[in-house]
Amino acid sequence: MDNLSLLMDGFGSVLTPQNLLFACIGVLLGTFVGVLPGIGPAMAVALLLPVTYGLDPIGAFIMFAGIYYGGMYGGSTTSILLNTPGESASVMTALEGNLMARAGRASQALATAAIGSFIAGTIGTLLVVFFAPALASVAVEIGAPSYFALMVLAMIMVTSVLGGSPLRGFIALFIGLTIGLVGLDLNTGQPRLSFDQPLLADRIDVVVVAVGIFALGEALWVAAHLRRSPLHVIPVGRPWMGREDLRRSWGPWLRGTAYGFPFGALPAGGAEIPTFLSYLTEKRIAKRKGVDEFGKGAIEGVAGPEAANNASAAGTFVPLLALGLPVTATSAVMLAALQGYGIEPGPGLMTDQPELVWALLASLLIGNALLLVLNLPLAPVWAKLLRIPRPQLYAGILFFAALGAYAANLQAFDLFLLVLLGLLGLAMRRFGLPVLPLILGVILGPLMEYRLREAMAISGGEVSGLWSEPLAVVIYVVVAIAVVVPLAVRRIRPTPAAVADGLDSPADEEEKVR
């Protein structure tokens, strides 16, 4: 139980009045920004990065943890009350959640989402406490060739498995890799793609990229397509649940957690698949019990996917902390934030900076608990935010995006880059290019090059050095499978409905296992 005592040490460094205040501010800000329509968790974290600039790392991490869970919870509130999910992970929550809200059960929907998020987040974070150190201790042993292979795996999975169009995924990935090239070459100190600009030779700040692509790109895209007719917002009172709701919710919470965590922890995670699986499972179970309210606002359909969503979010911390691999847009932004503190996530992190890691994990648990305590009473206030007039809302997003990008280095040139990247983000949304591969390319590209050169230097320039480790070979086999299987599946059954069918059977098997 070594991990637990380390976690207790983490609590020790986090539980000071000042740090608890940071946690509260983080949760409130995160929920505030997350509830705002049009802002998903990744954008919420990106927009709120500057708030933590002046803090020491521990204080900043605590605030991040609050912002992270707050932003996620805010997103589910929006999708339940507006029926227009801001991101793919809330699609399943929105289905039944909005039906519940329309049937006058908005309070119960919000309550089961909040409590489900809390339970899933807590279990998920505790699982991270047990898995991440074990994985990290293995990861310390793996050499540069396997590392390089892992990054290839993460890129391929995110690009070709998750997105709808592999071609567009790869275009986004290579735009990201190109952006990652800009600046001084790590070994020889020569500027690349810098057009003789010293400011470009310093490399483009990942924060500027994240804010530009997520916040500015999204705001410009919305500006081009702003909905003329206002959306219908469902009024809501204080969330509460009756005994009956609780009885129907706890099963879905736990099953959702069981789906969510493994998917989040895999280097091809994302919350889309587990939320979908959870939804299907709950629907099936409800049908078997003969109380199928799905399609009329079933509380199981909110509880399960919402728990899956949060458990998967917690799971993403395993590859992030143990391997330095971000697998969702939000964790990519978190990684950028960690890098801002001079912390290089990766196998060394757990051994080099244990107090930071354990403080982060402890603050995730605290942020999660605060979220529940603060947000159940505040839900009606958050619901009012959905009525903010859109011109002012998006003007505000532009304002804070500019502030965030500018405050990082106080360079007007960064603002110029922000505008360029915002236009790139706009173009990506116009052409259906996914955002995640791009961010992954920007962050992982330079690391990948570094590992490649390290591996080749060790092998003395022999290309075979890249598969000199057994683990690397295994990973390349997985990469090959990951590339071939979706292509084959697509050829046989090209429609999304068919893919959904294909997901039915694993859902069944998972059930039997349990």
Partner 1 sequence: MSTPLDTHPGTPGAPAGPAAPRRDMAQLGLAAALVVVGAYTVYDATTLRIGFGDPVGPRVFPYVIGAVTVLLGGLLVLATLRGDVPEAEGGEDVDLRQPADWITVLKLVGVLMFTVLTVSFLGWAISGAVLFVGSAWSLGSRTLVRDVIVGLVLSVTSWYAFHEGLGVILPAGILDGVL
Which residue, chain included where needed, has tokens 């709120």? 48
Residue 430 has a CB neighbour count (10 Å cut-off) of 13
328-367 residues near partner 1, rule: CB under 8 A: none
The reply on whether position 437 binds partner 1 by CB under 8 A is no
Q: Residue 115 in contact with residue 241, Cβ under 8 Å?
A: yes
Strands 191-192 and 183-184, bridge-based pairing: antiparallel
Which residue's CB is nearer to partner 1, number 37 or number 116?
37
Give 462's Cβ-side CA count (13 Å radius): 7
- Contacting residue, 21, 352, 392, 508, with partner 1 by CB under 8 A: 392
| Residue 300 DSSP one-character state | H
The reply on whether position 394 binds partner 1 by CB under 8 A is yes
The closest of 62, 112, 146, 131 to 470, measured between CA atoms, is 146
* End-to-end Cα, the chain, rounded Å: 26
**Token representation of residue 233:** 């917002």
Which residue's CB is nearer to partner 1, number 103 or number 407?
407
Q: Name the one range near partner 1 by CB under 8 A: 50-58, 65-73, 107-115, 307-315.
A: 50-58
The reply on whether position 410 binds partner 1 by CB under 8 A is yes
200-219 residues near partner 1, rule: CB under 8 A: 216, 218-219
Which residue's CB is nearer to partner 1, number 175 or number 254?
175
The reply on whether position 391 binds partner 1 by CB under 8 A is yes
11-40 residues near partner 1, rule: CB under 8 A: 37-38
Which residue's CB is nearer to partner 1, number 227 or number 493?
227
Q: Residue 307 in contact with residue 264, Cβ under 8 Å?
A: no
The reply on whether position 164 binds partner 1 by CB under 8 A is yes
315-334 residues near partner 1, rule: CB under 8 A: none
CB of residue 468 to partner 1, shortest distance in Å: 14
78-117 residues near partner 1, rule: CB under 8 A: 78, 82, 84-86
- Contacting residue, 193, 373, 487, 500, with partner 1 by CB under 8 A: 193
CB of residue 171 to partner 1, shortest distance in Å: 5
Q: Residue 220 in contact with residue 422, Cβ under 8 Å?
A: yes
CB of residue 64 to partner 1, shortest distance in Å: 15
CA angle 481, 484, 486 (to 5 degrees): 105
**Token representation of residue 514:** 């349990």
CB of residue 135 to partner 1, shortest distance in Å: 28
CB of residue 342 to partner 1, shortest distance in Å: 17
Distance CA 513, CA 359 (A): 35
The closest of 44, 48, 45, 19 to 34, measured between CA atoms, is 44
CB of residue 149 to partner 1, shortest distance in Å: 16
CB of residue 407 to partner 1, shortest distance in Å: 5
Which residue's CB is nearer to partner 1, number 240 or number 399?
399
Q: Tell me, what amino acid is at 445?
A: G
The reply on whether position 167 binds partner 1 by CB under 8 A is yes
The reply on whether position 228 binds partner 1 by CB under 8 A is yes
| Residue 159 DSSP one-character state | I
- C-alpha distances out from residue 436 to 35, 428, 477, Å: 22, 11, 24
CB burial of residue 434 (10 Å; 0-12, 13-18, 19+) = buried
Which residue's CB is nearer to partner 1, number 321 or number 401?
401
CB of residue 375 to partner 1, shortest distance in Å: 20
Contacts with 457 (C-beta within 8 Å, 6 or more apart), sequence order: none
CB of residue 388 to partner 1, shortest distance in Å: 11
